[in-house]
Structure 1
Amino acid sequence: MYHHATTWPGAKVPHAWVTRGAERLSTLDLGGRGRFTLLTGIGGEAWVAAASAHGITAVTIGPGADYEDPYGDWARLREIGDSGCVLLRPDNHVCFRSATVTDDPSATLRAALDKVLGL
């Protein structure tokens, strides 16, 4: 009955304005386009490396990162820490999230993809 913005798996990624230079985009514009997308914060370098190894587009949101969160909206909505991640399906729905970085982000991401893809 009421929309509740969340990054729980199964939900559509919540909208928040982010910027890249003078360009303002919605978090809804960061994913989709027929590909999986991983969103992480400034402490998520290990997730970025794992995503790259699996052919997944990774986007970092935070001060001095790919995209900045000038109003703090994404930080309030993401429900994870700076070192966590949110994995989006090609339809912009969350299929996995981790509050922080794991001991083996590559294996964690592979397991999440296998589950999502039914492998």
Structure 2
Amino acid sequence: MLRNKEESEKEAKKEAFRKYLESSGVVDSLTKVLVALYEQNVKPSSAIEFIQQKMGGPSLSDYEKLQAEMSDLKIKHKELLASHEEKCRELEELKSSLTMSSSAKETDDMEVLDHNVL
């Protein structure tokens, strides 16, 4: 009895998933791609790549180009980040020296005022 209930639940899940695939257009899309593959006079060397291309995915060479571009962009990102951090350090040093300079000028001005008052 328990086994039948489990099997029934499994079948219900399968049926719900099948309906989901049909209603979302997945079954139609896959059918069209498989029919296109079937109708090829000369079968492609890679059925998977054929299906990926027909489904709108990148070809293997496009994928490799994208991977290389991503690698280059990661390197460029690291370089720009390091440059940014260096510029931030330089800015902080300038701010610090400006504050110290401003502070020293105020002290000098105060001494001049004190001297003139006395």
Which is higher, the Rg of structure 1 or of structure 2? 2
Relative contact order higher in (CA < 8 Å, ≥ 6 apart):
1
More helix by share: 2
TM-score normalised by length of structure 2: 0.22
